[in-house]
Structure 1
């Protein structure tokens, strides 16, 4: 835990110094108990930003290769993602994804915070895409409040296709928690869709993005 706090503090300091972000709504994050941070997704760095600037730890999914890359670079990456609470998941493998969702439920049941992008993958055109219902499933299964997050301008930090990080001002808005009935894992599919749409509506209000009624798709080969 001390290592976790140290990494978060270091990253937070670097982000604040280099980017001078505008952050509002920190008081909306519950001071105790489980919560789900649901955000739009514009940049590879979004998870790091949320993990650094939130007042409480937030566990996100991360690609499994971040934990298995060989050599010195791989060890640094693994140490970092582990220290900020990231959860490795294999892309495209259903069994691994189900196990990862179970891990998120476990964290919530232990009173922790998790982060999720309802769009699934980052938006490369700035649109806010239709939410996939995993976030609704988590909210209804666990009863954890959902804290909507709107990120504005983070795509400028590392444009899609670029490996270079460019310090830029950005904004992170945190909305009031959304609360849903605790229905358990077996709940009606329409309820899951309704919860997800309500969450994405709240994100849209914070981010000000133009909406798309389509699901976002990751580019082939990424």
Structure 2
């Protein structure tokens, strides 16, 4: 993951931008790990960045992408790294107890979450405070797992991403990606490394959460804020796919579409 400061062309408007990359070029354990992951993703995918300027160059943030195949975290990690930020995810705490895997997650600052909290995508308070104090970002899949929606549209979200953004006043950046199923189909076990999968990654401006601030952070507020986030992610994915998503939101509990409120 070393190299000279690079120029990268945005797929949205053809502009050429030079980004500051202090996290990427500061010595860390991301370098040797990136030496394994980056070549693999580069050899098997073609990443197309759209509106990447919305990912903050410095300071803390919450990045909220859609999730539909097991290879997504590797694609997102490389994408975030190429944009100059260190990729950190919420990770099941049980994995930290595995000998080598746990060490790798620890030295790269991944965030352990117990199984009970994982169902809500809840982040531990100490980890949240460290993110803010050190100006780090975190990737949180608001769906909490692979979408169960039959056509791979975003399903109902968990509240962890909006809770973290609201409690610590962090930018909540929605993101959609489409194409990684060409490398690994949803629920698939066999990689398809050739031809290289074209993966479009579209970032949106931070979600405006001002209407929710200064109010009691109860379950109703968090549900509304999370649905607003999911609508932003869905709109980005509609642009990438060139089609409209279903009017409702897939509920994995009922295994059907549920009506959702719309936000302007």
Category of TM-score, reference length = shorter chain: 0.7 to 0.9
Match of 1:157 in 2: 183
Match of 1:169 in 2: 198
* TM-score of the aligned structures, taking structure 1 as reference length: 0.79
The 5 Å alignment of 1:1-222 reads 1-8=27-34, 10-54=36-80, 55=83, 56-69=85-98, 75=100, 77-91=101-115, 93-94=116-117, 100-110=123-133, 111-124=135-148, 125=150, 126-167=152-193, 168-181=197-210, 183=213, 187-208=217-238, 210-211=245-246, 212-216=248-252
1:32-90 CA distance string (max 9 Å, x none) = 11100001111122222212211212321223343334xxxx52x33444454322333
Question: How many angstroms does 1:215 deviate by?
Answer: 3.1
Shift >6 Å, 4+ stretches: 95-99
Structure 2: 5+ residue stretches without partners:
1-26, 239-243, 256-264
Question: How many angstroms does 1:133 deviate by?
Answer: 1.9
Contact 1:37 1:113 (8 Å CA) reproduced: yes
Question: Which of 1 and 2 has higher RCO (CA within 8 Å, sep 6+)?
Answer: 1
| Total equivalences in the alignment | 212
Moved more, 142-151 or 10-19: 10-19
* TM-score of the aligned structures, taking structure 2 as reference length: 0.68
> Relative to 1, partners in 2 of residues 1:20 and 1:41: Cα closer, same or farther, differing over 3 Å?
same
Separation of aligned partners in 2, 1:98 and 1:20: 29
Q: What RMSD, in angstroms, separates the aligned Cα atoms of the two structures?
A: 3.1
Separation of aligned partners in 2, 1:130 and 1:195: 12
1:78-121 CA distance string (max 9 Å, x none) = 34444543223332x34997984324422432221011111121
> Relative to 1, partners in 2 of residues 1:87 and 1:108: Cα closer, same or farther, differing over 3 Å?
closer
Q: Per residue, is there more helix in 1 or in 2?
A: 1
Separation of aligned partners in 2, 1:107 and 1:134: 16
Separation of aligned partners in 2, 1:178 and 1:9: 33
Compare CA radii of gyration and give the structure with the larger one.
Answer: 2
Separation of aligned partners in 2, 1:66 and 1:90: 10
Contact 1:57 1:85 (8 Å CA) reproduced: no
**SS state at 2:144 partner:** coil
Separation of aligned partners in 2, 1:82 and 1:164: 29
Moved more, 145-154 or 6-15: 6-15
